[in-house]
A and B are shown apart, each in its own frame.
Chain A
Amino acid sequence: MNDTTAVTRNERGSRNDATQRAEAAQRNGSALIPPVDVIEDSTGITLRADLPGVAKDKLTLHVESGTLTIEGEVGLALPENMEASYAEVSMPRFRRVFTLSKELDTDKVSAELKHGVLNLRIPKAEHAQPRRIDIKVS
Protein backbone atom coordinates (compact mmCIF):
# COMPACT_ATOMS: atom_id res chain seq x y z
CA MET A 1 0.00 0.00 0.00
CA ASN A 2 2.84 2.24 0.80
CA ASP A 3 4.26 1.53 -2.62
CA THR A 4 1.05 2.54 -4.32
CA THR A 5 0.93 5.75 -2.43
CA ALA A 6 4.48 6.46 -3.42
CA VAL A 7 3.71 5.73 -7.06
CA THR A 8 0.67 7.96 -7.06
CA ARG A 9 2.54 10.69 -5.37
CA ASN A 10 5.32 10.37 -7.88
CA GLU A 11 2.90 10.50 -10.74
CA ARG A 12 1.16 13.46 -9.35
CA GLY A 13 4.47 15.09 -8.62
CA SER A 14 5.68 14.63 -12.18
CA ARG A 15 2.39 15.85 -13.59
CA ASN A 16 2.65 18.93 -11.45
CA ASP A 17 6.15 19.44 -12.78
CA ALA A 18 4.84 19.06 -16.30
CA THR A 19 2.05 21.58 -15.81
CA GLN A 20 4.42 23.95 -14.12
CA ARG A 21 6.82 23.61 -17.01
CA ALA A 22 4.00 24.18 -19.47
CA GLU A 23 2.92 27.24 -17.56
CA ALA A 24 6.47 28.54 -17.45
CA ALA A 25 6.84 27.90 -21.18
CA GLN A 26 3.64 29.78 -21.78
CA ARG A 27 4.89 32.59 -19.61
CA ASN A 28 8.15 32.79 -21.52
CA GLY A 29 6.92 31.88 -24.96
CA SER A 30 3.50 32.84 -26.15
CA ALA A 31 1.98 36.23 -25.59
CA LEU A 32 -0.06 38.59 -27.68
CA ILE A 33 1.79 41.41 -29.39
CA PRO A 34 0.08 44.68 -28.57
CA PRO A 35 -0.34 47.17 -31.42
CA VAL A 36 1.68 50.35 -30.90
CA ASP A 37 2.18 53.81 -32.29
CA VAL A 38 5.65 55.32 -32.09
CA ILE A 39 6.09 59.03 -32.72
CA GLU A 40 9.37 60.86 -32.60
CA ASP A 41 9.75 64.58 -32.20
CA SER A 42 12.76 66.73 -31.52
CA THR A 43 12.78 66.15 -27.76
CA GLY A 44 11.95 62.47 -27.50
CA ILE A 45 9.86 59.48 -28.46
CA THR A 46 6.24 58.83 -27.56
CA LEU A 47 5.07 55.22 -27.55
CA ARG A 48 1.42 54.30 -27.23
CA ALA A 49 0.38 50.68 -26.80
CA ASP A 50 -3.07 49.11 -26.67
CA LEU A 51 -3.20 46.88 -23.61
CA PRO A 52 -6.90 46.25 -22.99
CA GLY A 53 -7.72 44.52 -19.74
CA VAL A 54 -4.32 45.16 -18.16
CA ALA A 55 -4.60 46.82 -14.77
CA LYS A 56 -1.90 49.18 -13.55
CA ASP A 57 -0.42 46.67 -11.11
CA LYS A 58 -0.30 43.93 -13.77
CA LEU A 59 1.83 45.95 -16.14
CA THR A 60 5.62 45.69 -16.09
CA LEU A 61 7.94 48.00 -17.94
CA HIS A 62 11.52 46.98 -18.02
CA VAL A 63 14.48 48.87 -19.42
CA GLU A 64 17.69 46.93 -19.54
CA SER A 65 20.83 47.34 -21.66
CA GLY A 66 19.15 49.17 -24.45
CA THR A 67 15.93 47.17 -24.65
CA LEU A 68 12.48 48.13 -23.47
CA THR A 69 10.12 45.31 -22.50
CA ILE A 70 6.42 45.89 -22.08
CA GLU A 71 4.63 43.04 -20.37
CA GLY A 72 1.08 42.94 -19.11
CA GLU A 73 -1.38 40.41 -17.84
CA VAL A 74 -5.03 40.61 -18.78
CA GLY A 75 -7.34 40.43 -15.80
CA LEU A 76 -11.00 40.09 -16.66
CA ALA A 77 -13.79 39.87 -14.13
CA LEU A 78 -14.98 36.50 -15.37
CA PRO A 79 -18.16 35.28 -13.73
CA GLU A 80 -18.07 31.91 -12.04
CA ASN A 81 -18.60 28.80 -14.16
CA MET A 82 -18.46 30.75 -17.39
CA GLU A 83 -17.83 28.68 -20.49
CA ALA A 84 -16.04 30.50 -23.27
CA SER A 85 -17.76 29.99 -26.60
CA TYR A 86 -15.78 32.31 -28.85
CA ALA A 87 -12.46 34.05 -28.30
CA GLU A 88 -10.44 36.46 -30.40
CA VAL A 89 -8.15 37.37 -27.53
CA SER A 90 -6.92 33.87 -26.84
CA MET A 91 -4.05 34.54 -24.46
CA PRO A 92 -4.24 36.52 -21.25
CA ARG A 93 -0.86 38.14 -21.76
CA PHE A 94 0.77 40.88 -23.78
CA ARG A 95 4.46 41.25 -24.43
CA ARG A 96 6.59 43.31 -26.76
CA VAL A 97 10.27 44.18 -26.77
CA PHE A 98 11.85 47.20 -28.41
CA THR A 99 15.49 48.06 -28.94
CA LEU A 100 16.25 51.59 -27.83
CA SER A 101 18.84 53.79 -29.43
CA LYS A 102 21.72 55.40 -27.61
CA GLU A 103 20.54 59.00 -27.56
CA LEU A 104 17.43 58.15 -25.52
CA ASP A 105 17.56 58.92 -21.82
CA THR A 106 16.24 55.74 -20.20
CA ASP A 107 16.42 57.24 -16.70
CA LYS A 108 13.68 59.72 -17.48
CA VAL A 109 11.03 57.44 -18.95
CA SER A 110 7.55 58.38 -17.87
CA ALA A 111 4.51 56.16 -18.31
CA GLU A 112 0.78 56.56 -17.95
CA LEU A 113 -1.93 53.92 -18.32
CA LYS A 114 -5.46 55.05 -19.01
CA HIS A 115 -8.42 53.01 -20.32
CA GLY A 116 -6.05 50.26 -21.40
CA VAL A 117 -3.73 52.53 -23.39
CA LEU A 118 -0.14 52.89 -22.26
CA ASN A 119 1.44 56.23 -23.00
CA LEU A 120 5.21 56.11 -22.70
CA ARG A 121 7.50 59.07 -23.11
CA ILE A 122 11.23 58.58 -23.56
CA PRO A 123 13.09 61.87 -23.74
CA LYS A 124 16.33 62.30 -25.59
CA ALA A 125 19.45 62.84 -23.55
CA GLU A 126 20.64 66.42 -23.05
CA HIS A 127 23.55 66.07 -25.42
CA ALA A 128 21.28 64.72 -28.12
CA GLN A 129 18.79 67.59 -27.98
CA PRO A 130 18.72 69.59 -31.15
CA ARG A 131 20.62 72.83 -31.18
CA ARG A 132 21.51 75.32 -33.70
CA ILE A 133 25.09 75.52 -34.72
CA ASP A 134 26.37 78.98 -35.42
CA ILE A 135 28.53 79.39 -38.40
CA LYS A 136 31.40 81.72 -37.87
CA VAL A 137 32.51 83.80 -40.72
CA SER A 138 36.23 84.15 -40.86
Chain B
Amino acid sequence: MFQSLFPRDVFAELDRLQREMRESFDLSPSIRGLGRGGFPALNVGGTPQSVEIFAFAPGLDPATVEVNLDRGVLSIAGERKPDLPADDGGKAAVHINERFSGRFRRVVSLSDDIDPNGVSADYRDGVLHITAKRRESARPRRIAVQ
Protein backbone atom coordinates (compact mmCIF):
# COMPACT_ATOMS: atom_id res chain seq x y z
CA MET B 1 0.00 0.00 0.00
CA PHE B 2 2.72 2.42 0.92
CA GLN B 3 4.66 1.52 -2.18
CA SER B 4 1.89 2.70 -4.42
CA LEU B 5 1.58 5.91 -2.43
CA PHE B 6 5.27 6.66 -2.47
CA PRO B 7 6.68 5.15 -5.63
CA ARG B 8 9.95 6.97 -5.03
CA ASP B 9 11.37 9.17 -2.36
CA VAL B 10 9.29 12.34 -2.52
CA PHE B 11 12.13 14.55 -1.31
CA ALA B 12 14.58 13.15 -3.82
CA GLU B 13 12.03 13.90 -6.53
CA LEU B 14 11.67 17.47 -5.31
CA ASP B 15 15.45 17.83 -5.30
CA ARG B 16 15.60 16.57 -8.85
CA LEU B 17 12.84 18.94 -9.93
CA GLN B 18 14.62 21.87 -8.32
CA ARG B 19 17.89 20.93 -10.02
CA GLU B 20 16.26 20.63 -13.39
CA MET B 21 14.60 24.00 -13.02
CA ARG B 22 17.90 25.58 -12.10
CA GLU B 23 19.61 23.95 -15.04
CA SER B 24 17.00 25.22 -17.45
CA PHE B 25 17.56 28.78 -16.25
CA ASP B 26 21.32 28.60 -16.47
CA LEU B 27 22.05 28.92 -20.18
CA SER B 28 25.78 28.25 -20.08
CA PRO B 29 26.56 25.86 -17.24
CA SER B 30 30.15 25.38 -16.18
CA ILE B 31 32.04 22.28 -17.31
CA ARG B 32 32.42 21.37 -13.64
CA GLY B 33 28.68 21.24 -13.22
CA LEU B 34 26.50 23.32 -11.03
CA GLY B 35 28.33 24.11 -7.89
CA ARG B 36 25.34 25.52 -6.09
CA GLY B 37 24.26 23.47 -3.13
CA GLY B 38 27.67 21.92 -2.64
CA PHE B 39 29.83 22.15 0.42
CA PRO B 40 31.37 24.58 1.10
CA ALA B 41 29.27 27.34 -0.44
CA LEU B 42 31.43 29.81 -2.35
CA ASN B 43 31.23 33.53 -2.92
CA VAL B 44 33.66 35.10 -5.35
CA GLY B 45 34.46 38.73 -5.86
CA GLY B 46 37.18 40.80 -7.42
CA THR B 47 39.03 44.03 -6.91
CA PRO B 48 41.47 45.61 -9.37
CA GLN B 49 44.32 44.15 -7.29
CA SER B 50 43.03 40.72 -6.35
CA VAL B 51 40.42 37.98 -6.58
CA GLU B 52 38.62 37.21 -3.31
CA ILE B 53 37.09 33.81 -2.63
CA PHE B 54 34.99 33.10 0.44
CA ALA B 55 34.29 29.45 1.26
CA PHE B 56 31.62 28.99 3.93
CA ALA B 57 33.05 25.91 5.62
CA PRO B 58 32.20 25.90 9.32
CA GLY B 59 33.49 23.41 11.82
CA LEU B 60 36.78 22.49 10.19
CA ASP B 61 40.23 22.19 11.65
CA PRO B 62 42.17 24.79 9.62
CA ALA B 63 45.22 22.52 9.60
CA THR B 64 43.37 19.83 7.65
CA VAL B 65 42.04 22.08 4.88
CA GLU B 66 43.97 21.76 1.65
CA VAL B 67 44.07 24.75 -0.66
CA ASN B 68 45.97 24.08 -3.86
CA LEU B 69 46.66 26.17 -6.92
CA ASP B 70 47.61 24.21 -10.00
CA ARG B 71 47.83 25.88 -13.42
CA GLY B 72 45.32 28.53 -12.57
CA VAL B 73 42.87 26.11 -10.98
CA LEU B 74 42.27 26.62 -7.29
CA SER B 75 40.96 23.67 -5.32
CA ILE B 76 39.70 23.55 -1.77
CA ALA B 77 39.55 20.09 -0.23
CA GLY B 78 39.13 18.59 3.20
CA GLU B 79 36.97 16.50 5.38
CA ARG B 80 34.33 17.30 7.92
CA LYS B 81 33.96 14.59 10.50
CA PRO B 82 30.44 13.59 11.45
CA ASP B 83 29.42 14.98 14.84
CA LEU B 84 26.62 12.52 15.28
CA PRO B 85 26.90 9.99 18.08
CA ALA B 86 27.94 6.51 17.13
CA ASP B 87 25.26 3.90 17.37
CA ASP B 88 25.26 3.22 21.08
CA GLY B 89 22.35 0.89 21.34
CA GLY B 90 19.60 3.40 20.74
CA LYS B 91 20.34 5.71 23.67
CA ALA B 92 20.52 8.83 21.53
CA ALA B 93 18.03 9.74 18.83
CA VAL B 94 18.96 11.88 15.87
CA HIS B 95 15.91 13.98 15.05
CA ILE B 96 17.36 16.29 12.41
CA ASN B 97 20.47 15.60 10.37
CA GLU B 98 21.04 18.32 7.79
CA ARG B 99 24.66 19.28 8.27
CA PHE B 100 27.17 18.07 5.75
CA SER B 101 29.76 15.51 6.76
CA GLY B 102 32.41 13.68 4.79
CA ARG B 103 35.07 14.60 2.27
CA PHE B 104 34.63 17.59 0.02
CA ARG B 105 36.41 19.28 -2.86
CA ARG B 106 35.51 22.39 -4.74
CA VAL B 107 37.37 23.82 -7.70
CA VAL B 108 37.49 27.34 -9.10
CA SER B 109 39.37 28.33 -12.22
CA LEU B 110 41.02 31.68 -11.78
CA SER B 111 41.73 34.23 -14.45
CA ASP B 112 45.12 34.27 -16.19
CA ASP B 113 46.41 37.36 -14.43
CA ILE B 114 46.77 35.69 -11.01
CA ASP B 115 50.20 35.62 -9.44
CA PRO B 116 50.66 32.02 -8.14
CA ASN B 117 52.94 33.28 -5.37
CA GLY B 118 50.47 35.85 -4.16
CA VAL B 119 47.75 33.55 -2.82
CA SER B 120 46.95 33.66 0.87
CA ALA B 121 44.20 32.07 2.93
CA ASP B 122 42.83 32.58 6.41
CA TYR B 123 40.07 30.89 8.39
CA ARG B 124 37.80 32.91 10.66
CA ASP B 125 34.38 32.09 12.14
CA GLY B 126 34.08 29.13 9.81
CA VAL B 127 34.77 31.11 6.64
CA LEU B 128 37.86 30.36 4.56
CA HIS B 129 38.93 33.57 2.84
CA ILE B 130 41.35 33.17 -0.04
CA THR B 131 42.97 36.21 -1.58
CA ALA B 132 44.71 35.75 -4.91
CA LYS B 133 46.72 38.76 -6.00
CA ARG B 134 46.72 39.82 -9.61
CA ARG B 135 50.07 40.20 -11.35
CA GLU B 136 51.61 43.63 -11.09
CA SER B 137 51.70 43.88 -14.87
CA ALA B 138 48.00 43.12 -15.19
CA ARG B 139 46.75 45.73 -12.73
CA PRO B 140 44.99 48.74 -14.14
CA ARG B 141 47.18 51.81 -14.28
CA ARG B 142 47.06 55.29 -15.55
CA ILE B 143 49.44 56.17 -18.29
CA ALA B 144 50.92 59.61 -18.07
CA VAL B 145 50.81 61.66 -21.24
CA GLN B 146 54.15 63.24 -21.96
Contact of A13 with B by CB under 8 A: no
Contact of A85 among B35, B46, B95 (CB under 8 A): B46
User: A37-B99, A42-B91, A77-B129 are known contacts. Are A50 and B47 too (CB-CB below 8 A)?
Assistant: no
Total contacts A-B at CB 8 Å: 117
How large, as a class, is the contact surface on chain B?
35 or more
Residue-by-residue, is A85-101 near B (CB-CB < 8 Å gives 1, otherwise 0)? 11111000000000000
User: From B35, which residue of chain A is reached at the shortest CB distance?
Assistant: A88
- With a CB–CB cut-off of 8 A, which chain B residues contact A86? 42-45
User: A39-B92, A88-B35 are known contacts. Are A51 and B126 too (CB-CB below 8 A)?
Assistant: yes
User: A36-B96, A39-B93, A55-B125 are known contacts. Are A82 and B45 too (CB-CB below 8 A)?
Assistant: yes
Q: Which residues of A (1-28) have their CB < 8 Å from a CB of B? A: none
Q: Number of A residues whose C-beta is below 8 Å from B?
A: 34
User: From B122, which residue of chain A is reached at the shortest CB distance?
Assistant: A77
Judge whether B45 and A40 touch: CB under 8 Å: no
Could you pull out 10 A-B pairs where Cβ atoms are within 8 angstroms?
A: A36-B98, A36-B99, A37-B83, A37-B94, A40-B93, A42-B91, A52-B40, A76-B127, A88-B35, A116-B126
